[in-house]
Structure formats: structure tokens, C-alpha cells
């Protein structure tokens, strides 16, 4: 395993991060425990979850993913071996759809996170997506309607930062990060923190894959210059970049077979790009999923690559991608496809 130091918390985190959002929908509690056992044994010490998981969101199952992790921590007594990330989520069925990133709601959410996780601290606490209306979750353009939302209707950035800094002082979280945010949002948090002598966000969790490299356009420079690491999610595009859905296949139990709502990575342009990436892998004797993950692993602005799996075989193969270094020829071929099909799955 490869590791990178997170400066604020002085921890080495694995280049591969264990994603958990299928636990409670596609994976049982015992299967989740098996995944945690394997991940830790393979050196994956960085795990990510959220209060709204599992995904797809389900009011009756909300929080089950954290509960599964909590029972594992209680059983194994190995919480200290894991760098744990979780989130507060502005999901409609949480807090009656009125989530605000203020001190009261952040504190209440962390109360519940900690109870489900059976721990007394979270290493990185993330804002799952912005409170404000902006272009995330496949919304490529910033619209006039989004721009018309007054900032006065939202929790002030400084109030949110102060609330998170207070939680750090209490020892209930060690650092905080953003997720599904924009360059403007990230820079606003950084500016407000610097202006007021407060601890800034440490990470940002946004999508990044061969089918969505939008992070490179304006966020990557911030990552380098402001020392805010990317936690890349959906590096396989819901499994599309494993090649298992090519030629219209829908394997039993696979995510896109079970949930047709996830069409982000299966539009015509994305399918065409995926076919070409599959050809690169076949021509060079590479496992397609490992090739896609190795590309993400290789980016200098990526702190950790969040993988998800429903079977132990998938999990082991995904973890092993950290040992794959793509040749210059493969990288050149990937760039050629990207030039022809730039970011088909925003």
C-alpha cells in the first residue's frame, strides 16, 4: 500500500480509501464486516462513510452503513487503526429537509454519527454537498436560477467554519472537508478561514474518473497551491469502467442492474469512451478496472481514491490497483480518448 501524510491530523492515509455506501443495500452487515477485515489486512486504513448511507438513500435504512461500522469497531477494538471520514448530509428526509450547516445542526448530526459509529471521534468530517444551490451531481452549467439564490438565505460560511473549528477543539472531529463543491465554494471556505485565523478544510471529496476529469479544470490548481487533497469518488463510474456493462450487459446484482436511476455514466458519449478505454486495456493486457483506478491513483492532486465493492474479489482487485503503474504509451492512449470524448459524465 502507498500512503500520504495528512498534515492537519499528522496521519498517513492509504492511497486507496474504503468506500462504504453499498452497505445496507447491496451488502449485509456480515459482508460489510468481511470487507473491513480485508481492507485493513491489505493496508487500507482510510475509510469513508456518511450519515445518509446506504445509497440509494432510503429513509428506513438511513444510518445503517455507520451502524455496521460501529458494530465492527466494537467487536474488533481496532478503531485506532482506522482514519475515519463521515459526513453531514442535506438529504430531504434528514432534519425535515431543512439542513443548515450551523452550529446546532452540525453538533446534532455529529452526536448521531458518533452514536452509530460507536466511537468518540471522527477524523475528517465532511459537508456532503453544499447548502447553496450550485452545479453538482451531473449539473454541468451554473444557471441563472442558481445565481438568484441570495447568500443571506444560507448559513454564513464563517459560521460553518467556526462550528467545525469548535468541534475540533472539543475533540469530536480532528479535521473537516468539503464534498461535491465548486472552486468558488472551496476558495470561499479557505479565504474565510484564513481571514479569521481558523483551521481550513483539509480535503474535498468530488467525482473523478476517466469519464469525469472536470476536477482538473480549476480545482486541481487549488489542491496543489492550497494543500487541499482530493478524495476521488466514483473512480469506476458505478462500475461502468470495469467493462461489465459493455454490449448492453446487466449482470445480476450489479448496481446499474438494480438501480436504473444511475444513468450518469451510461449516456451515448460515455459508452463510446468506455468502449475505447476497454480496447486500451485489452490491447495492453490490463484489467480494465485496475487501469481506470491506476489512472486516478497516479494524479498528483489525489490524496486518496475511494473504491467501492460488493464482493471480496472485487475489493481485492481494486485494492491491488495501487501496485499498477501505467506506461507512457497507455497514458498517451488514455489522453487520446479523453480528447475525443472529454468528460462525458459530469
Examine residue 252 and state whether it is found in any structural domain, yes or no: no
Give the C-alpha distances (Å, rounded to integers) separating 124 from 40, 116, 140: 18, 16, 27
pLDDT over 80 at 127, yes or no: yes
Percent of the chain predicted with pLDDT > 90: 87
Mean pLDDT of 303-313: 96
Say what the pLDDT of residue 139 is.
80
- The burial class, CB within 10 Å (0-12 / 13-18 / 19+), for 340 is exposed
Say what the pLDDT of residue 133 is.
86
Cis (ω within 30 of 0) for the bond into 119?
A: no
Examine residue 260 and state whether it is found in any structural domain, yes or no: no
Percent of the chain predicted with pLDDT > 70: 100
Give the C-alpha distances (Å, rounded to integers) separating 143 from 133, 140, 148, 151: 10, 9, 9, 15
Examine residue 247 and state whether it is found in any structural domain, yes or no: no
Give the C-alpha distances (Å, rounded to integers) separating 291 from 104, 168, 278: 44, 38, 9
Of residues 244, 249, 237, 175, the one with CA closest to residue 9 = 175
Say what the pLDDT of residue 142 is.
86
Confidence of residue 103 (pLDDT cuts 50, 70, 90): very high
Say what the pLDDT of residue 248 is.
83
Query: The C-alpha cell of 222 is what?
Result: 487549488
Examine residue 261 and state whether it is found in any structural domain, yes or no: no
Residues known to be catalytic: 53
Examine residue 287 and state whether it is found in any structural domain, yes or no: no
Say what the pLDDT of residue 263 is.
77
Residue pair 219/207 in contact (Cβ under 8 Å)? The answer is no
Mean pLDDT of 188-194: 98
Mean pLDDT of 189-213: 98
Mean pLDDT of 36-61: 97
Q: Which residue has the cell 475489493?
A: 315
CATH of residue 207's domain is 3.20.20.100
Residue pair 205/126 in contact (Cβ under 8 Å)? The answer is yes
Examine residue 345 and state whether it is found in any structural domain, yes or no: no
Query: The C-alpha cell of 182 is what?
Result: 465548486
Domain that holds residue 49: 3-237+299-324
Confidence of residue 153 (pLDDT cuts 50, 70, 90): confident
pLDDT over 90 at 182, yes or no: yes
In order, the DSSP letters of 80-108 are GG-EEEEEE---TTSGGG----SHHHHHH
Residue pair 53/8 in contact (Cβ under 8 Å)? The answer is no
Residue 292 DSSP code: H
- Helix 29-41 vs helix 312-320: angle between axes, to the nearest 10 degrees? 30
Of residues 61, 133, 48, the one with CA closest to residue 304 = 48
Confidence of residue 57 (pLDDT cuts 50, 70, 90): very high
Say what the pLDDT of residue 264 is.
83
Say what the pLDDT of residue 152 is.
86
Confidence of residue 321 (pLDDT cuts 50, 70, 90): very high
Domain count, the chain: 1
pLDDT over 80 at 199, yes or no: yes
Say what the pLDDT of residue 274 is.
97
Give the C-alpha distances (Å, rounded to integers) separating 272 from 20, 256, 340: 29, 17, 10
Examine residue 142 and state whether it is found in any structural domain, yes or no: yes
Q: Give me the half-sphere count of Cα atoms (radius 13 Å) on the Cβ side of residue 346.
A: 11
Say what the pLDDT of residue 294 is.
98
Say what the pLDDT of residue 64 is.
98
Of 134-138, 158-162, 167-171, 290-294, the poorest mean pLDDT is in: 134-138
Tens-place pLDDT, residues 240-298: 999 999 988 888 887 887 777 777 888 999 999 999 999 999 999 999 999 999 999 99
Residue pair 265/249 in contact (Cβ under 8 Å)? The answer is no
Examine residue 184 and state whether it is found in any structural domain, yes or no: yes
Residue pair 181/206 in contact (Cβ under 8 Å)? The answer is yes
Amino acid at each position: 500500500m502507498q500512503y500520504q501524510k495528512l498534515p492537519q491530523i499528522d496521519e498517513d492515509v492509504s492511497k486507496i480509501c474504503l468506500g462504504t455506501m453499498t452497505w445496507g443495500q447491496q451488502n449485509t452487515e456480515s459482508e460489510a464486516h468481511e470487507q473491513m477485515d480485508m481492507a485493513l489486512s491489505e493496508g487500507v486504513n482510510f475509510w469513508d462513510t456518511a450519515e445518509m448511507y446506504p445509497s440509494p438513500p432510503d429513509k428506513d435504512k438511513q444510518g445503517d452503513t455507520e451502524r455496521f461500522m460501529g458494530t465492527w469497531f466494537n467487536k474488533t477494538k481496532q478503531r485506532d487503526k482506522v482514519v475515519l471520514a463521515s459526513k453531514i448530509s442535506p438529504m430531504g428526509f434528514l432534519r425535515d429537509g431543512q439542513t443548515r450547516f450551523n452550529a446546532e445542526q452540525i453538533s446534532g448530526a455529529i452526536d448521531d454519527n458518533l452514536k452509530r459509529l460507536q466511537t468518540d471521534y471522527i477524523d475528517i468530517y465532511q459537508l456532503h454537498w453544499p447548502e447553496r444551490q450550485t452545479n453538482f451531481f451531473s449539473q454541468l452549467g451554473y444557471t441563472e436560477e442558481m445565481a438568484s439564490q441570495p447568500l443571506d438565505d444560507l448559513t454564513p460560511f464563517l459560521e460553518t467554519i467556526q462550528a467545525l473549528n469548535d468541534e475540533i477543539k472539543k475533540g469530536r472531529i480532528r479535521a473537516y472537508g468539503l464534498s461535491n463543491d465548486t472552486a468558488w465554494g472551496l476558495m470561499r471556505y479557505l479565504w474565510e478561514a484564513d481571514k479569521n485565523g481558523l483551521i481550513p478544510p483539509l480535503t474535498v471529496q468530488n467525482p473523478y474518473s476517466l469519464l469525469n476529469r472536470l476536477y482538473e479544470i480549476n480545482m486541481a490548481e487549488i489542491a496543489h497551491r492550497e494543500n487541499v487533497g482530493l478524495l476521488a469518488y466514483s473512480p469506476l463510474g458505478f462500475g461502468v469502467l470495469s467493462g461489465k456493462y459493455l454490449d448492453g450487459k446487466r449482470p445480476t446484482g450489479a448496481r446499474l442492474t438494480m438501480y436504473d436511476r444511475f444513468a450518469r455514466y451510461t449516456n451515448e458519449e460515455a459508452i463510446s469512451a468506455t468502449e475505447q478505454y476497454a480496447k486500451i486495456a485489452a490491447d495492453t493486457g490490463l484489467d480494465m478496472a485496475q487501469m481506470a483506478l491506476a489512472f486516478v491513483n497516479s494524479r498528483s492532486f489525489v490524496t486518496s481514491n475511494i473504491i467501492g465493492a460488493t464482493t471480496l474479489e472485487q475489493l481485492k482487485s481494486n485494492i491491488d490497483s495501487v501496485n499498477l503503474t501505467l506506461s507512457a504509451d497507455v497514458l498517451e492512449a488514455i489522453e487520446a480518448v479523453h480528447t475525443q470524448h472529454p468528460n462525458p459524465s459530469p
